[in-house]
Amino acid sequence: MDKINKDAVAILKYVGGPQNVNSLVHCVTRLRFELKDSHKIDEKKLNDLSCVLSIVHTGGQDQIVIGPNVAEYYDIIQQKLAANKQTDSTKSPEANSSNKVKFSLTKIISGAFMPLLSIMSGAGMVKAILTVLTSLHWLSATSTPYLVLAAAGNSVFYFLPIFVGITLAKEFKADPFVGGALGAALLEPSFTHLIGKHGLNFLGMPLDPIDYSTTVFPIFVIIGAYVILERLLKRIIPQQLQFFLNSTICLIILVPATVLIFGPFGNTVGNWISTIIMWLFGKSRLVAGLVLGASYSFLTVLGLHWGLVPITLQNLKIYGGDVIGGVGVCAFWAQIGVALGAFLYSLIKSKNPKLESLAGSVTVTGIFAGVTEPILYGLIMPSKRLIIITAIAGGLGGAVSASLHVVVKSFLIDNIFSILMMMYEPIGFMILGSGTALLTGALLTYFWGFEKSTKK
């Protein structure tokens, strides 16, 4: 413990001291500093500390990778910052004005998903194991053991709005339990029972219930509205009533607003996107494949890819094959390529065991289970370079596949087994397009994906 205390004090010193720290949070493995002046960091001395695995500058933050015991360092540093708080409070208004933190979308996304990476990877591994067992016919998909284990593997993904509501509220320094409750309301049986019914209304306003399971776009919108509403309520409601009244008002206003406005808006945007994409396919397959392949991963992040599902189902019914799935699989393998490139980079170049462990596990769950959320939220979205690489790799692969008329033959989850079961045609051209995406993602990530500041 003495060594941890000594190293924690040293870390605070080498980032410029307490007076240089605007805020500090931590995720699974990193101390995430927001500093007044990043130039005051002494990276050489930080890297000399045995507890520091690497230093990353991204999303407006200076992140120091510690490992799974990061919380111990965080607690000690927070104590030092609290002791310095009294001195900070005596600063002039001019000095305090520099403490304003710049908004960063990548920082918000990273803060929302980084705490979930461990459980998402674990659940993905469960799904991967079940996929292997059923593909080998060692376990029936209707058996009791399968259904129980499927519940374990699907839980975090199905209830993603709840988990993201909690972590996102924390990121905005709002009540995480209200954030979780807002997400849970979208999955509560009283509401989900309404899905598929028509002619519904809420206080005279038309209501078209949508399935929000596994989605993240609506919860990002609702938490953004919650943060604004909560801050307003804290100003106008007496302190002694805020304990119960703030959360009551937020639930009464925001849950109906989500099911009436926010959710349907996202669904409408998804339908617009699907219309534009099919128009592009009619004009130029190469351009359509390039655009869809480059954007598909990020449509998935926002949950807007569901707007493409009706077209996919219609294509399968009428033509027996779907061109959208033929391009979407390239975006999937582009993400796998990024994860594989990160794994090889950590193994060969950076010698970073934490990056190696994360990248290796998410690569396996992606290949075997088709679960790429940990790759998207843990590796790609926090990094501008990896976002660019994912778009390039997916776009190139998508252009190849679309030009060669690759289609999927059924509604499926992309993984290695969907290839082995010949669910695409022509299968050779599908492998060519997906292989292009995979290799492009892996090579660009390995050679360009990480800034020099992350190397050790």
**Does the pLDDT at position 97 exceed 80?**
no
Q: What is the mean pLDDT of residues 82-86?
A: 72
Query: What's the mean pLDDT when you consider all of the chain?
Result: 84
Higher pLDDT pick, 122 / 431: 431
Q: What is the mean pLDDT of residues 82-108?
A: 56
**Does the pLDDT at position 232 exceed 80?**
yes
**Does the pLDDT at position 105 exceed 70?**
no
- 27 catalytic per annotation: yes
Q: What would the pLDDT profile of 415-427 be if each residue is shown by its tens digit?
A: 898 898 788 989 9
Q: Where in the chain is the domain with CATH 3.30.1360.60?
A: 2-90
Judged by average pLDDT, the poorest of 96-100, 250-254, 388-392 is 96-100
The whole-number pLDDT of residue 426 equals 94
The whole-number pLDDT of residue 305 equals 67
pLDDT band at 96 (very low <50, low <70, confident <90, very high): very low
Q: What would the pLDDT profile of 128-139 be if each residue is shown by its tens digit?
A: 788 788 878 899
**Does the pLDDT at position 101 exceed 60?**
no
Question: Contact 22/99 with Cβ under 8 angstroms?
Answer: yes
Cis omega (within 30 of 0) for bond into 176: no
Cα separation, 46 vs 398, whole angstroms: 43
Judged by average pLDDT, the poorest of 42-51, 391-400, 429-438 is 42-51
pLDDT band at 95 (very low <50, low <70, confident <90, very high): very low
**Does the pLDDT at position 94 exceed 60?**
no
Q: What would the pLDDT profile of 142-183 be if each residue is shown by its tens digit?
A: 999 999 999 998 888 889 889 989 999 988 888 999 999 999
Higher pLDDT pick, 23 / 179: 179
pLDDT band at 244 (very low <50, low <70, confident <90, very high): confident
Higher pLDDT pick, 232 / 112: 232
Residue 413: phi, psi to the nearest 5?
Answer: -105, 125
**Does the pLDDT at position 277 exceed 90?**
no
2-90 CATH choice from 3.40.309.10, 3.30.1360.60, 1.20.1270.10, 3.10.620.30: 3.30.1360.60
**Does the pLDDT at position 455 exceed 60?**
no
pLDDT band at 92 (very low <50, low <70, confident <90, very high): very low
356 C-beta neighbours (distance < 10 Å), count: 18
Higher pLDDT pick, 405 / 303: 405
Q: What would the pLDDT profile of 301-358 be if each residue is shown by its tens digit?
A: 766 666 576 577 667 767 778 899 999 999 999 999 999 999 999 999 888 887 888 8
Question: Both tokens of residue 305?
Answer: 């890819």
Higher pLDDT pick, 12 / 100: 12
Cα separation, 373 vs 156, whole angstroms: 11
Q: What would the pLDDT profile of 188-228 be if each residue is shown by its tens digit?
A: 999 999 988 888 889 888 888 888 887 777 888 899 999 99
Judged by average pLDDT, the poorest of 1-5, 40-44, 72-76, 445-449 is 1-5
Does the pTM of the predicted model rise above 0.75? no
The whole-number pLDDT of residue 98 equals 43
pLDDT band at 401 (very low <50, low <70, confident <90, very high): very high
Q: What is the mean pLDDT of residues 20-24?
A: 88
